């Protein structure tokens, strides 16, 4: 994501600090070329900016994006932001400035959900073509008036078979009406999809299997190639003014970065985990780095506290669990234990206070 510097008194744009080239695209997720090679579509995703919870989290609207560029990536032609599910496949219309966008994913428990979009990048008009939220795996234009698609079943038990077979089961049809999606009848789904049975995608002209996640990502990489100036940018969790002309930030792809307001990166530290917090302290800002749990070996999230100074990061304290930090004016740091899904070890809040020459802190426990 971008880091933008604005003057708050008048809220006018001043400088875009972090790399500008394709910074608006988000996390790489796919790449597609039009048949003539003159236009490319880059599919990207935007991570959630807070932990989702059904009761309190309203979400943000932008999660999946299609960015349309000229083949040299110097001109952006259009942007499609209406997708609500991961983008699985894209088909360019053979003669019109339109594309079909197949989206969807497994919900992790039972259902396969998604949508099929038709987007005109010249007018900006887009419409959903299905009367149900179905995961669309593949799409291709047969000709100017016909679109072939394959989909996954509605849910795990729609068709008979072993449990793991559902992920390799497909249904499909050819759509010949691009105007309006049909309305469900009496609470039922799209009538065109009612009597579909499993098929081989080759029967609809798909000569290769559905694109895997890794293959979609590789297509993005292949399109970008060795373009100078591109760097994948991640969501920024915190920022801190180091000086009048220096800004520190933490994001998913590093422990910390320091930029000057002229757009030059002066320092970057990477390693296990990523930075999530920058705390203001009298002897210099503190950087909180978290390492995510490994569910295979049942290890917990772990936090580490660093001091950021002119020489870089210096480790001050490590935790055997994840914590949330808060610092007061006397440099006392409250470390709240966030807990974990395994319930072990027992939740324990801690207080770090300044005064120990060796580690910089004295450790006390709060029960």
Of residues 55 and 259, the one with the higher pLDDT is: 259
Identify the pLDDT of residue 230: 82
Tens digits of residue pLDDT in 320-341: 888 888 888 888 888 888 776 5
Mean pLDDT of all residues in 243-265: 92
109-115: average pLDDT:
93
Burial level of 102, CB count in 10 A (0-12/13-18/19+)? Answer: buried
Q: What is the pLDDT of residues 256-299, one digit of tens each?
A: 999 998 888 999 999 999 999 999 988 889 999 999 887 777 77
The C-alpha angle with vertex 113 and arms to 149 and 341, in degrees rounded to 5, equals 145
> What was the pLDDT predicted at 254?
94
What's the chain's average pLDDT? 85
Residue matched to tokens 């995510």: 292
If you average pLDDT over residues 239-251, what whole number do you get? 93
Domain range summary for the chain, segments of one domain joined by +: 19-224, 236-366
pLDDT in tens, 352-361: 876 543 444 5
**Distance, CA of 32 to CA of 21 (rounded, Å):** 19
Residue 362: is its pLDDT beyond 50? no
The per-residue pLDDT for range 168-190, each reduced to its tens digit, is 999 999 999 887 666 655 557 78
CA–CA distances in Å: residue 133 to residues 37, 154, 193, 282: 31, 9, 11, 54
**Separation between Cα atoms, residue 19 and residue 7, nearest integer Å:** 20
Cβ pair 220, 43 in contact under 8 A: yes
Rounded Cα distance between 221 and 358, Å, is 46
Q: Which residues share a beta bridge with 286?
A: 279, 307
pLDDT tens-digit series, residues 78-93: 999 999 999 999 999 9
Residue 306: pLDDT over 50: yes
* CATH architecture of the domain formed by 236-366: 7 Propeller (2.130)
Q: What fold does the segment set 19-224 form as a domain?
A: Neuraminidase (2.120.10)
């Amino acid at each position: 994501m971008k880091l933008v510097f604005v003057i708050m008194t008048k809220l006018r744009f001043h400088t875009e600090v972090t790399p500008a080239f394709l910074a608006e695209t988000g996390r790489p997720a796919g790449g597609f070329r039009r048949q003539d090679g003159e236009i490319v579509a880059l599919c990207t995703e935007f991570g959630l900016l807070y932990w989702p919870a059904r009761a309190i989290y309203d979400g943000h609207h932008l999660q999946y994006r299609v960015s349309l560029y000229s083949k040299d990536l110097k001109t952006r032609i259009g942007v499609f932001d209406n997708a609500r599910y991961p983008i699985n496949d894209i088909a360019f219309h053979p003669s019109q400035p339109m594309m079909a966008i197949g989206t969807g994913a497994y919900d992790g428990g039972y259902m396969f959900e998604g949508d099929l979009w038709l987007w005109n990048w010249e007018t900006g008009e887009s419409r959903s073509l299905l009367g149900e939220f179905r995961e669309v795996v593949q799409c291709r234009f047969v000709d100017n008036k016909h679109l072939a698609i394959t989909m996954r079943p509605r849910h795990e038990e729609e068709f008979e078979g072993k449990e793991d077979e559902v992920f390799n089961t497909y249904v499909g049809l050819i759509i010949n009406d691009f105007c309006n999606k049909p309305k469900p009848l009496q609470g039922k789904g799209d009538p065109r999809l009612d009597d579909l049975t499993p098929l081989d995608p080759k029967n609809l002209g798909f000569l290769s299997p559905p694109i895997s996640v890794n293959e979609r990502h590789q297509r993005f990489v292949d399109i970008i190639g060795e373009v100078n100036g591109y760097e994948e940018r991640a969501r920024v969790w915190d920022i801190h003014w180091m000086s009048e002309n220096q800004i520190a930030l933490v994001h998913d792809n590093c422990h910390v970065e320091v930029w000057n307001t002229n757009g030059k990166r002066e320092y970057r530290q990477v390693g296990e985990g990523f930075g999530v917090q920058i705390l203001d302290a009298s002897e210099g800002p503190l950087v909180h780095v978290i390492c995510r749990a490994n569910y295979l070996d049942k290890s917990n999230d772990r936090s580490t506290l660093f001091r950021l100074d002119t020489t870089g990061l210096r480790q001050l304290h490590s935790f055997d669990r994840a914590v949330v930090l808060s610092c007061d004016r006397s440099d006392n740091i409250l470390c709240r234990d966030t807990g974990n899904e395994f319930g072990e070890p027992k939740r324990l809040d801690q207080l770090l206070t300044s005064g120990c020459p060796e580690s910089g802190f004295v450790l006390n426990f709060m029960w």
